[in-house]
């Protein structure tokens, strides 16, 4: 197999990932809302504080989820994996294949509900586990994992550390 | 042939356990209301000692280690047994450690570090001093490639060249410079305990607030002096008799007055260098150097920080060059608009302090001249300028260099060959001014301290350019290394064919 078959153009995430993120935002804002709302209700007798906090945090989270999806892209290049993402802080990461230690495909409970998976790329760097690509269909995650594995092996990296 | 730990280590470790038990016993007897009878205490003590001793004997019996041609094996475990094999090629550092008691008993702790994981991979507690030295020499020899010295013959130690030995003057400077103001955080703990008694000792001052106002500055001053003395003394004893040697392809260091540390740093495993000068050291023209391997980084709490503690700046730089031959560095500064960011940021912080002081004055009974806090405002631009002035980055032939920090200025030198990932990021505020930050990540940079090589707040376009350049140069360096490896293998192959030495080693054994 040729390296040319493994590399690809800039790819975007599966649109369904927005729902995953929105749901995650809903869960965390629900927790936050209860944490703030319960004492507000019991101590100060303000029942509307909790829902207000929930609504506020949820709106911010959901908006971020939509923008995050729009911004996210990754590209399997010839020598490195390139990620471009981030709403508040825009981050572009270059991961040379020689540095890849291993690649995981993981599926959280919410992701499973939507039929999505995440590919996590580990390097020996101090920010190793930082490099993960969410919002992939299981097939694409497996395919990506396989491609990165082949590319990492082909990169012939001795003495990574 | 597998080896055991030194028999004396049984006694030492048993005493260690006993001492720990003793502490618990003291807390139990003084903490609980029902006081134990004397014979009960005695029984506890004897029983504890017996159990500790027994456990340590079994531990010693079950602990076996062996140094083979290419691995270091340990079989250990009293309750659950464990067998561990560490490939010698993966060993990053070998450290020996002995405290005062251990030195009196002739015991040494040996640690082998490999990359990954914060724990020490192999820890021998304890072997005899001669055994430890032998182990270290043997591991170094095997790592160099045992093929070059025929087996059976005693390992010839390569000539170790003394690179650096700390002078009394440097130790003195170290003591002054390393006055660690972080110890001041102790003040917050100690002050509430100390102040009432100091206040009480001052006589008939009835108002607790007045007593506080009088005693607090005094107590604070005393604590600062004590903290300074302790941190200074700690550094001096820690780096007492520091010596750095270079033996072929590794560095060796020895240091410590009470607790003796010595270790090796393989040069082939160096990930990055970092040159640290705090404001005081800069003024005196001194600097310190850390050599970072993937085993651990500078500022590691394990106490095995391996570097030059302090020396004149020029000397430190030339030492650094002997480890990583980097060329002359000319720093590029971030654009001036970055400085404006810091002015704004520091002004906001100053305003917060003013607001807090005002609020404290207005809403608590504690009245004071809150408007003094306004003095912070003119300091903001000064601080911003100092921060900006100390920032810088440089792209050298084979290295990426980044500098930052005012109070403690750190210059990090990263060979392109060691780059793990390159990260370019821009926050909302940075984007407003068209700025970005470039982080060049290596293996083993301490994740918590976040001491990556980073070019902070540089021009956004330049950051994107740098990202490509650094990656490109990494690939180039990798290609070079690959070509070099091939060349070497070819030479070796020819040598074995012509019947030179090392004929018993397969040339493709890589």
Counting Cα atoms < 13 Å in the Cβ hemisphere of B244 gives 24
**pLDDT greater than 50 at residue B502:** no
Who wins on pLDDT, B394 or A42?
Answer: B394
For B276-305, how does the pLDDT look when each residue is reduced to its tens digit (9 = 90+)? Answer: 898 888 998 999 888 887 765 444 444 445
Would the pTM of this model clear 0.80, i.e. be above it? no
B-facing residues of A in 84-103 (CB < 8 A) are 86, 88-96, 98-99
**pLDDT greater than 70 at residue B419:** yes
Contact B464 A86 (CB under 8 A): no
**Closest residue to B116, CB basis, from A80, A124, A131:** A124
Of the ranges B337-346, B413-422, B443-452, B455-464, which one carries the lowest mean pLDDT score? B443-452
Measured between CA atoms, the residue of chain B closest to residue A93 is: B423
Contact A161 B426 (CB under 8 A): no
Q: Considering only CA atoms, which of B109, B10, B131, B16 is closest in space to residue B61? A: B10
Measured between CA atoms, the residue of chain B closest to residue A89 is: B427
Average pLDDT of the residues in B114-135: 81
**pLDDT greater than 80 at residue B378:** yes
B25, two tokens? 């016993």
For A36-63, how does the pLDDT look when each residue is reduced to its tens digit (9 = 90+)? Answer: 888 888 888 888 888 899 999 999 999 9
Is A113 in the B-facing interface, judged by CB distances under 8 Å?
A: no
User: What span, in angstroms and rounded, lies between the C-alpha atoms of A49 and A37?
Assistant: 5
Pairing of strands B419-427, B435-442: antiparallel
B291, two tokens? 């050599």
Q: Name the stretches of chain A with pLDDT < 50.
A: 160
Chain B closest CA to A106's CA: distance in Å? 22
Which of B117, B421, B472 is the best residue to mutate to test the A interface, defined by the most A CB atoms within 10 Å of its own CB?
B421
Who wins on pLDDT, A1 or B102?
Answer: B102
With b meaning 16 or more CB within 10 Å and e meaning fewer, what string describes B388-399?
Answer: bebbbbbbbebb
Question: If you average pLDDT over every residue of chain B, what do you get?
Answer: 81
User: What span, in angstroms and rounded, lies between the C-alpha atoms of B198 and B206?
Assistant: 13
- Calculate ∠ Cα B3-B7-B12, nearest 5°: 125
Strand order through the sheet with B250-255: B122-128, B107-114, B91-98, B260-266, B250-255, B243-247, B160-165
Main-chain dihedrals φ then ψ at residue B209, nearest 5 degrees:
-65, -40
pLDDT of the residue at B471: 92
Contact A124 B420 (CB under 8 A): yes
Contact A91 B424 (CB under 8 A): yes
**pLDDT greater than 80 at residue B461:** yes
Average pLDDT of the residues in B171-186: 71
pLDDT of the residue at A156: 67
pLDDT of the residue at B470: 94
Who wins on pLDDT, B400 or B492?
Answer: B400
**Closest residue to B115, CB basis, from A90, A92, A161:** A161
Question: If you average pLDDT over every residue of chain A, what do you get?
Answer: 87
- If you search the block for the tokens 């509430």, which residue do you land on? B192
User: What span, in angstroms and rounded, lies between the C-alpha atoms of B57 and A96?
Assistant: 50
In chain B, % of residues over pLDDT 90: 27
**Closest residue to B425, CB basis, from A80, A90, A158:** A90
Yes or no: say if B177 and B280 are a contact pair by the CB < 8 Å rule. yes
- Under the banding of pLDDT at 50, 70 and 90, the label for residue B184 is low
Among positive and negative, which fits the CA dihedral B245, B248, B251, B252? negative
Burial of B487 (0-12, 13-18, 19+ CB in 10 A): exposed
Contact B421 A86 (CB under 8 A): no
Rounded to a whole number of angstroms, the CA Rg of chain B reads: 28
Contact B116 A161 (CB under 8 A): yes
pLDDT of the residue at B212: 66
Which residues have C-beta within 8 Å of that of residue B396, sequence separation ≥ 6?
Answer: B326, B327, B329
User: What span, in angstroms and rounded, lies between the C-alpha atoms of A78 and B475?
Assistant: 11
- Under the banding of pLDDT at 50, 70 and 90, the label for residue B116 is low
User: What span, in angstroms and rounded, lies between the C-alpha atoms of B299 and A125?
Assistant: 17
**pLDDT greater than 50 at residue B328:** yes
Chain A closest CA to B255's CA: distance in Å? 26
- If you search the block for the tokens 């540390």, which residue do you land on? B261
Q: Reduce the DSSP state of residue B173 to 3 states and report it.
A: helix
- If you search the block for the tokens 């009835």, which residue do you land on? B206
User: Could you tell me where the beta strands, DSSP code E, fall in B344-452?
Assistant: 392-395, 399-404, 408-415, 419-427, 435-442
Yes or no: say if B179 and B185 are a contact pair by the CB < 8 Å rule. no
Which of B420, B429, B482, B484 is the best residue to mutate to test the A interface, defined by the most A CB atoms within 10 Å of its own CB?
B420
Yes or no: say if B452 and A126 are a contact pair by the CB < 8 Å rule. yes
User: What span, in angstroms and rounded, lies between the C-alpha atoms of B302 and B111?
Assistant: 11
Measured between CA atoms, the residue of chain A closest to residue B296 is: A126
- Under the banding of pLDDT at 50, 70 and 90, the label for residue B499 is low
- State the distance between the two ends of chain A, measured CA to CA, in whole angstroms: 28
Size of interface A-B (CB pairs under 8 A): 93
Q: Considering only CA atoms, which of B471, B479, B461, B359 is closest in space to residue B421? A: B471
Average pLDDT of the residues in B200-228: 68
pLDDT of the residue at B227: 77
**Closest residue to B441, CB basis, from A125, A157, A158:** A125
Measured between CA atoms, the residue of chain B closest to residue A79 is: B475
Contact B294 A86 (CB under 8 A): no
Contact B423 A158 (CB under 8 A): no
Burial of B18 (0-12, 13-18, 19+ CB in 10 A): middle
Quote the distance between the C-alpha of residue B383 and its chain's center.
28
The string of DSSP codes covering chain A is: --HHHH----B---TTHHHHHHHHHHHHHHHHHHHHHHHHHHHH--TTHHHHHHHHHHHHHHHHHHHHHHH-EEEE-SSEEEEEE-SSEEEEEEEEGGGEEEEEEE--HHHHHTT-EEEEEEESBTTGGGEEEEEE-HHHHHHHHHHHHHHHHHT------
Is A15 in the B-facing interface, judged by CB distances under 8 Å?
A: no
User: What span, in angstroms and rounded, lies between the C-alpha atoms of A152 and A144?
Assistant: 12
**Closest residue to A125, CB basis, from B92, B442, B475:** B442
**pLDDT greater than 90 at residue B335:** yes
Average pLDDT of the residues in B334-352: 93
Contacts of A98 in chain B (CB under 8 A): 474, 478
Average pLDDT of the residues in B38-56: 83
| Range from B150-159, B266-275, B463-472 that averages highest in pLDDT | B463-472
| Range from B10-19, B69-78, B388-397 that averages highest in pLDDT | B388-397
Of the ranges A19-33, B203-217, B309-323, which one carries the lowest mean pLDDT score? B203-217
User: What span, in angstroms and rounded, lies between the C-alpha atoms of B164 and B243?
Assistant: 6
Who wins on pLDDT, B204 or B360?
Answer: B360
Contact B471 A161 (CB under 8 A): no
pLDDT of the residue at B390: 93
Q: Reduce the DSSP state of residue B167 to 3 states and report it.
A: coil
- Under the banding of pLDDT at 50, 70 and 90, the label for residue B453 is confident
User: What span, in angstroms and rounded, lies between the C-alpha atoms of A49 and A36?
Assistant: 8
User: What span, in angstroms and rounded, lies between the C-alpha atoms of A106 and A117?
Assistant: 6
Contacts of A86 in chain B (CB under 8 A): 425
Main-chain dihedrals φ then ψ at residue A151, nearest 5 degrees:
-65, -40
**pLDDT greater than 90 at residue B375:** no
Q: How far is CA B339 from CA A61, B333, B431, B435, B454, in A?
A: 32, 10, 14, 11, 17
Rounded to a whole number of angstroms, the CA Rg of chain A reads: 19
Contacts of B419 in chain A (CB under 8 A): 96, 99
| Rounded-to-10 torsion of CA B5, B9, B11, B12 | -160
User: What span, in angstroms and rounded, lies between the C-alpha atoms of B307 and B429?
Assistant: 37
Contact A125 B428 (CB under 8 A): no
Contact B467 A92 (CB under 8 A): yes
Average pLDDT of the residues in B262-286: 87
Is A122 in the B-facing interface, judged by CB distances under 8 Å?
A: no
Contact B421 A124 (CB under 8 A): no
User: What span, in angstroms and rounded, lies between the C-alpha atoms of B67 and B112?
Assistant: 12
Yes or no: say if B65 and B124 are a contact pair by the CB < 8 Å rule. yes
């Amino acid at each position: 197999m040729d390296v040319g078959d493994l590399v690809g153009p800039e790819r975007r995430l599966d649109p369904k990932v927005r729902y995953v993120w929105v749901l995650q935002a809903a869960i965390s804002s629900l927790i936050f809302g209860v944490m703030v709302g319960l004492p507000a209700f019991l101590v100060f007798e303000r029942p509307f504080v909790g829902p207000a906090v929930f609504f506020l945090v949820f709106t911010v989270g959901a908006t971020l989820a939509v923008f995050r999806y729009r911004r996210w892209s990754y590209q399997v290049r010839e020598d490195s994996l390139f990620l471009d993402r981030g709403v508040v802080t825009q981050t572009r990461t270059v991961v040379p294949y020689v540095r890849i230690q291993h690649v995981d495909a993981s599926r959280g409970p919410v992701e499973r509900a939507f039929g999505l998976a995440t590919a996590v790329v580990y390097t020996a760097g101090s920010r190793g586990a930082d490099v993960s690509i969410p919002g992939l269909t299981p097939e694409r995650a497996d395919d990506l994992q396989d491609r990165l594995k082949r590319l990492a092996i082909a990169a012939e990296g001795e003495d990574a550390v | 042939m597998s080896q055991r730990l030194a028999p004396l280590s049984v006694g030492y470790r048993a005493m260690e356990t006993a001492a720990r038990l003793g502490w618990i016993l003291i807390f139990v007897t003084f903490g609980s209301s029902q006081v134990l009878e004397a014979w009960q205490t005695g029984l506890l003590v004897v029983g504890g000692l017996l159990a500790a001793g027994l456990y340590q004997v079994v531990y010693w019996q079950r602990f076996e280690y062996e140094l083979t041609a290419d691995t270091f094996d340990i079989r250990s475990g009293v309750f659950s047994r464990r067998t561990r094999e560490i490939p010698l090629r993966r060993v990053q550092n070998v450290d020996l450690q002995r405290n005062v008691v251990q030195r009196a008993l002739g015991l040494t702790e040996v640690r082998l570090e490999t990359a990954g994981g914060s724990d020490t991979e192999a820890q021998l507690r304890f072997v005899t001093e001669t055994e430890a030295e032998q182990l270290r020499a043997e591991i170094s020899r095997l790592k160099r490639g045992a093929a070059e010295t025929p087996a059976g013959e005693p390992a010839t130690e390569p000539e170790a060249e003394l690179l650096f030995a700390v002078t009394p003057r440097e130790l003195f400077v170290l003591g002054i410079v390393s006055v660690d103001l972080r110890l001041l955080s102790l003040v917050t703990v100690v002050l509430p305990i100390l102040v009432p008694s100091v206040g009480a000792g001052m006589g008939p001052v009835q108002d607790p607030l007045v007593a506080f106002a009088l005693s607090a500055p005094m107590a604070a001053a005393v604590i600062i002096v004590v903290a300074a003395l302790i941190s200074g003394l700690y550094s001096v004893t820690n780096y007492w008799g520091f010596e750095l040697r270079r033996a072929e392809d590794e560095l060796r260091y020895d240091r410590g007055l009470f607790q003796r540390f010595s270790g090796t740093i393989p040069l082939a495993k160096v990930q990055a260098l970092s040159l640290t000068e705090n404001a005081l050291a800069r003024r005196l023209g001194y600097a310190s150097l850390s050599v970072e391997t993937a085993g651990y980084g500078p500022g590691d709490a394990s106490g095995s920080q391996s570097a030059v503690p302090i020396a004149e700046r020029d000397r430190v730089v030339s030492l650094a060059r002997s480890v990583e031959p980097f060329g002359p560095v000319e720093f590029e500064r971030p654009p001036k608009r970055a400085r404006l960011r810091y002015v704004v940021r520091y002004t906001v912080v100053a305003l917060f302090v003013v607001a807090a002081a005002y609020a404290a004055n207005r809403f608590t009974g504690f009245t004071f001249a809150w408007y003094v806090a306004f003095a912070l405002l003119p300091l903001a631009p000064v601080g911003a300028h100092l921060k900006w002035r100390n920032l810088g980055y440089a792209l050298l032939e084979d290295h990426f260099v980044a500098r930052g920090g005012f109070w403690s200025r750190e210059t990090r030198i990263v060979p392109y060959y060691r780059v793990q990932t390159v990260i370019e990021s821009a926050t909302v505020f940075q984007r407003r001014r068209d700025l970005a930050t470039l982080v060049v990540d290596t293996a083993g940079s301490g994740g918590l301290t976040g001491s990556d090589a980073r070019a902070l707040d540089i021009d956004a376009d330049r950051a994107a350019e740098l990202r490509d350049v650094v990656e490109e140069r990494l690939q180039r360096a990798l290609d070079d290394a690959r070509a070099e490896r091939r060349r070497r293998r070819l030479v070796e192959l020819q040598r074995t064919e012509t019947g030179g030495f090392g004929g018993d080693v397969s040339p493709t054994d890589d």
